[in-house]
């Protein structure tokens, strides 16, 4: 759609023609006078002169240049189609445990038994795909914590690097406190200002490594307004083979420190979730979508592109052309007058 930002500027279009009609003609005092008994013949010449001026191409070039100049001053613009722009002020960090215990195959995915990390990758990837407009970062931790992806709007990169992670990449133990501290540091140093700061931390154990106590790290997160949602992953019971050849039930999540994870969430205004199977993990991420909703798109935005430079450029070209023609005509007239003077 085309429009004019200042349409009232078009009122200037007839101004030169009105001035020509209303103002008296310019009289040159250097012109010679001639006394005649009647103006009858000169009236005809005057009308003929005005007709010839209207037919003069210079006149029409000047008219077009003026129209283009007024049109440029009215600021023509092209308004694009309406766009939905997602707006979000949220920095969302994901911290995923890669310690050796994540290798326990107590989850099901697609009717097959899988380890905890594989189930986490599948469910968290869907969660990341739904977070349109959020800046998402990824921390992988085990014995040490690593920033795998800084906060970014590129959700596909976050998903790819999450899917490429593997158990033992960061060591066999679990450094929950270091993971939280790294998230605090990266969000605090982030140049982008955000209204919401969120960390989703998923682990299946207790803090067995690292330099920072998880509760101390949570207190640091509280100071910068980082809200932490903790997820304890792992089944409550699992049937395994005994050394005697029989079967026995064990608790594969015996090392899960739910008390600390709950305390971390409470300190920062978040919440602790318990994921005992794949369906439970999916439900947790669905609840996270509800608790930290994706910003609604801002409807009604239309991109606007200014086009004033096209008519302005045309007016400048035509005006320059007229000026050049007048200059050449003046030089030619001067040469003709000089030749006549020598001939006289």
**Domains along the chain?**
2-18+41-80+303-339 (no CATH), 85-299 (3.40.50.410)
Contact assessment for residue 253 and residue 259, using Cβ atoms and an 8 Å cutoff: no
What are the Cα distances from residue 54, in Å, to 44, 50, 63, 143, 225?
16, 6, 11, 89, 75
Contact assessment for residue 201 and residue 217, using Cβ atoms and an 8 Å cutoff: no
Q: List, in order, residues 6 or more apart from 190 with CB less than 8 Å away.
A: 91, 150, 151
96-115 per-position pLDDT tens digit: 999 988 998 888 888 888 99
Residues pairing with 227 in the sheet: 198
Q: Is the whole-model pTM more than 0.75? A: no
Q: At what angle do helices 40-55 and 57-73 cross, to 10 degrees?
A: 60
**Cβ atoms within 10 Å of 26's Cβ, excluding its own:** 5
Average pLDDT, the chain: 81
Q: List, in order, residues 6 or more apart from 78 with CB less than 8 Å away.
A: 1, 2, 304, 305, 307
**Cβ atoms within 10 Å of 264's Cβ, excluding its own:** 27
11-68 per-position pLDDT tens digit: 988 888 888 788 777 655 555 555 555 555 445 445 445 545 545 778 888 889 899 9
Q: pLDDT tens track of the chain, all 344 residues?
A: 778 888 888 898 888 888 878 877 765 555 555 555 555 544 544 544 554 554 577 888 888 989 999 999 999 998 877 665 555 568 899 999 999 889 988 888 888 889 999 999 999 999 999 888 788 999 999 999 999 999 998 999 999 999 999 998 888 899 999 999 999 998 888 755 456 889 999 998 889 998 999 999 999 999 988 999 999 998 887 655 555 655 556 666 778 899 999 999 999 999 999 998 889 999 989 998 888 887 665 555 677 888 888 988 988 998 888 888 878 777 776 665 555 555 55
DSSP per residue over 256-323, as a string?
A: --HHHHHHHHHHHT--EEEE-SHHHHHHHHHHHHHHSPPPPEEEEE--EEE-THHHHHHHHHHHHHHH
β-pairing, 135-141 with 113-114?
unpaired
Give the whole-angstrom CA distance, residue 126 versus residue 182. Answer: 24
Give the whole-angstrom CA distance, residue 200 versus residue 94. Answer: 5
Residues pairing with 48 in the sheet: none
């Amino acid at each position: 759609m085309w429009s004019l930002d200042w349409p009232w500027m078009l009122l200037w279009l007839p101004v030169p023609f009105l001035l020509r009609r209303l103002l008296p003609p310019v009289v040159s005092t250097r012109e010679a006078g001639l006394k005649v008994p009647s103006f009858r013949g000169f009236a005809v010449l005057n009308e003929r002169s005005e007709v010839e001026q209207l037919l003069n191409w210079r006149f029409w070039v000047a008219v077009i240049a003026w129209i283009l100049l007024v049109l440029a001053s009215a600021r023509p613009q092209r308004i694009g189609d309406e766009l939905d722009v997602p707006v979000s002020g949220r920095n969302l960090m994901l911290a995923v445990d890669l310690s050796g215990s994540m290798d326990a195959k107590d989850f099901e995915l697609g009717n097959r038994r899988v380890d905890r990390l594989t189930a986490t990758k599948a469910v968290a990837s869907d969660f990341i795909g739904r977070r349109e407009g959020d800046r998402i970062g990824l921390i992988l931790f085990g014995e040490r914590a690593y920033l795998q992806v800084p906060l970014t709007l590129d959700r596909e990169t976050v998903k790819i690097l999450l899917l490429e992670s593997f158990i033992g990449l960061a060591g066999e133990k679990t450094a929950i406190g270091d993971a939280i501290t790294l998230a605090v540091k990266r969000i605090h140093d982030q140049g982008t200002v955000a209204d919401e700061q969120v960390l989703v931390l998923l682990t299946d154990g207790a803090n067995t490594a690292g330099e920072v106590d998880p509760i101390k790290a949570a207190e640091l997160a509280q100071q910068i307004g980082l809200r932490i949602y903790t997820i304890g992953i792992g089944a409550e019971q699992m049937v395994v083979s005994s050394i005697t050849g029989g079967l026995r039930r064990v608790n594969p999540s015996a090392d899960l420190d739910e008390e600390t994870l709950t305390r971390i969430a409470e300190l920062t205004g978040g919440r602790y979730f318990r994921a005992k199977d794949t369906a439970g993990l999916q439900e947790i991420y669905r609840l996270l979508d509800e608790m930290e909703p994706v910003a609604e798109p801002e409807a009604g935005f239309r991109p606007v592109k200014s086009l004033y430079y096209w008519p302005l450029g045309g007016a400048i070209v035509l005006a320059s052309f007229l000026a050049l023609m007048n200059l050449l005509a003046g030089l030619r007239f001067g040469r003709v007058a000089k030749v006549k003077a020598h001939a006289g």
